[in-house]
Amino acid sequence: MSTPHAFASAGRVLTGAALLSAVLVLSACKGGGGDAQAKAADEAQPPVPVETEQVTRRSVAASWVGTAALEVPRGADVVAKTSGIALDVLVEEGDQVRAGQPLVRLDPDRARLAVLQSRATMGKLDNSYKRAQQLVGQQMISANDLDQIKFDLDTARAQHEMAQLELSYTTVTAPISGVISQRMIRTGNFVQINTPIFSIVDNARIEATLNVPERELRVLKRGQPVRLSVDALPGETFEGVVERVAPVVESRSGTFRVVCAFEGDEALRPGMFGRIRIDYDQRADALVIPRSALLEDGDETAVFTVRDGKAVRVPVTLGYVDGALIEVRDGLEEGDAVVTAGKVALREGSAVQVVGADAPAVAADASAAPAADADQDDAP
């Protein structure tokens, strides 16, 4: 009676073991199929459209860029040295003048009369002195009297010269060469002594003063080339040099002054606001890429390159920045294709499709393989 029961128990054990083995086999098969499906899914993803540019060689310059207002190093306010009515204003704003050129003529009548009066006084004293010289020889006057007459004559001569100088002041002249930047009087105005009546700026030379951070003190030197551009003159660039570099740093701002000089140009005007670039170093044959190719994620500087239709992340070491380009000192070679647009959707190994300027070459490479396969199929 016990034998059938034992056989039944053994059968149940064998059945459970068989079921467990089947479950394990099915699980193993399912796991292997999942990996294959994931891999197949990755391969089935459509290529990511990207734009690329090749790594090229060119000269790059290390530079510092700042902004400043243009100013003239030389300027003068013209003042009247005597008073009087302005009879004739000879220049207008914007006129080019030379040093010593007449600008305005004041009423000279009062000064002319003073010259005539001093001349008459001087002539009278000159005659008195000549007679006194004869009389002192005859001992008719003393030597002290002769000295007094001589003193009076010298004083009259000085007063006459002063009157002539006052007369010359009625013609106001330019103290420096330049351009009339401001006129403060009109014909018929009464001009007071020491009153500014014109402003002149010497536009033969234009300067711009920059306040540069102290970290640039070692690299900015006198004589370095400078390029200037102003918003009022789009597309134009003006060449200049670093004229002066301050030897000290201002403690409050942590900056030092750099004065850049430019040759005078009719287009440049004092007061314009300009962007100034100072080139302090240059590399003649540097590898460069567009700055748009740089990846902005993570602490490591890298780019995506395209190799065999796949995206490859490449760490790079950078150098000088020159406008829209940046120097690459390590990590890339000339001719490498770096992704400049579409890199946000990429990851290591992503399939890519190059569009844009570089697309024809890639498309030609892609179409060459099917053509070759077709030739092989047609071959006997």
pLDDT above 80: residue 379: no
Of residues 184, 213, 221, 211, the one with CA closest to residue 200: 184
Q: How many C-beta atoms surround the C-beta of residue 371 within 10 A?
A: 9
Res. 249: pLDDT tops 50: yes
Judgement on whether residues 69 and 209 belong to the same structural domain of the protein: yes
Q: How many residues does the chain have?
A: 380
Let me know if residue 27 belongs to a domain: no
Residue 322's pLDDT is 82
Sheet holding 190-191, edge to edge: 171-173, 102-106, 84-89, 190-191
116 shares its domain with 86:
no
Q: What is the pLDDT of residues 52-68, one digit of tens each?
A: 898 999 888 888 899 99
Amino acid making up residue 303 = V
Give the model's confidence band at 269: pLDDT under 50 very low, under 70 low, under 90 confident, else very high: confident
User: Do 268 and 234 share a domain, yes or no?
Assistant: yes
**CATH code (residue 178):** 2.40.50.100
Is position 375 within any domain?
Answer: no
Residue 378 is assigned to a structural domain of this protein: no
Among the ranges given (11-25, 86-100, 210-224, 284-298), the one the predictor scored with the smallest mean pLDDT: 11-25
Are 321 and 329 a contacting pair, CB within 8 Å? no
pLDDT at 284: 84
The pLDDT value recorded for residue 368 is 44
Q: Residue 26 pLDDT more than 50?
A: no
Is residue 137, in this structure, part of any structural domain at all?
Answer: yes
What pLDDT sits at residue 43? 58
**356 — phi, psi (to 5°)?**
90, -145
Does position 75 have pLDDT exceeding 70, yes or no?
Answer: yes
**Amino acid 120: pLDDT:** 95
Identify whether residues 217 and 318 lie together within a single domain: no
Q: Do residues 97 and 195 share a domain? A: yes
In whole angstroms, what is the distance from residue 250 CA to residue 209 CA? 14
Residue 123: which pLDDT band, with cuts at 50, 70 and 90? Answer: very high
Q: What's 148's domain CATH number?
A: 1.10.287.470
The answer to whether the beta carbons of residues 115 and 164 sit under 8 Å apart is: yes
pLDDT bin (cut points 50, 70, 90) of residue 44 is: low
Amino acid of residue 152: D
Q: Are residues 208 and 69 in the same domain?
A: yes
pLDDT per position as a tens digit, 124-165 = 999 998 888 888 777 788 888 888 999 999 999 999 999 999
- Closest C-alpha among 278, 277, 275 to residue 229: 275
Q: Are residues 301 and 358 in the same domain?
A: yes
Token match 């551009």: residue? Answer: 229
Residue 53 lies in a domain: yes
Q: Helices 109-137 and 143-168 sit at what angle, rounded to 10 degrees?
A: 160
Q: Is 355 a domain residue? A: yes
Give CA torsion, residues 211, 213, 217, 218, to 10 deg: -140
Tell whether 87 and 113 lie within a shared domain.
no
Q: Are 124 and 149 in contact (CB under 8 A)?
A: no
CA angle 71, 72, 74 (to 5 degrees): 150
pLDDT (average), residues 89-105: 94
| Mean residue pLDDT across the chain | 82
Q: How much is the pLDDT for 40?
A: 52
The tally of domains found in the chain comes to 4
Provide the β-strand partners of residue 203.
none
In a domain, 23, yes or no: no
Q: Is residue 22 part of a domain?
A: no
Mean pLDDT along residues 186-191: 94
266, 221: one domain: yes
Query: Which of 58-72, 74-88, 299-313 reaches the highest mean pLDDT?
Result: 74-88
Q: Of 123, 145, 169, which closes a domain?
A: 169
Range of weakest confidence among 35-39, 49-53, 212-216, 234-238: 35-39
* Most confidently modeled range among 182-186, 316-320, 322-326: 182-186
Among 9-18, 116-125, 249-258, which stretch is predicted with the lowest mean pLDDT?
9-18
pLDDT value of residue 21: 43
pTM: 0.57
Same-domain status, 217 and 323: no
Angle at 251 between CA 248 and CA 257, to 5 degrees: 45
Q: How far is CA 19 from CA 9, 29, 67, in A?
A: 16, 15, 82
Q: How far is CA 10 from the centre of its chain?
A: 94
Q: Is the pLDDT of residue 41 over 60?
A: no
Q: Are 120 and 183 in a shared domain?
A: no
Last residue of a domain, one of 234, 263, 283: 283
Residues 6+ apart with CB under 8 A from 27: none
* pLDDT at residue 369, as a whole number: 42
Q: ∠ at Cα 296 (291, 299), nearest 5°?
A: 115
For residue 213, the domain's CATH number is 2.40.30.170
Q: Which residue has the tokens 């006052």?
A: 166
Query: pLDDT value at position 37?
Result: 52
pLDDT value of position 343: 81
CATH number at residue 356: 2.40.420.20
Among 118, 151, 169, the domain boundary falls at 169
Residue 280 pLDDT level (bands cut at 50, 70, 90)? confident
Looking at the fold, whether 69 and 214 belong to one and the same domain comes out as yes
Average pLDDT rounded to a whole number, residues 20-42: 44
Q: Would the pLDDT of 312 be above 50? A: yes
Answer yes or no: is pLDDT of 323 > 90. no
Range of the domain at 338: 48-60+284-364
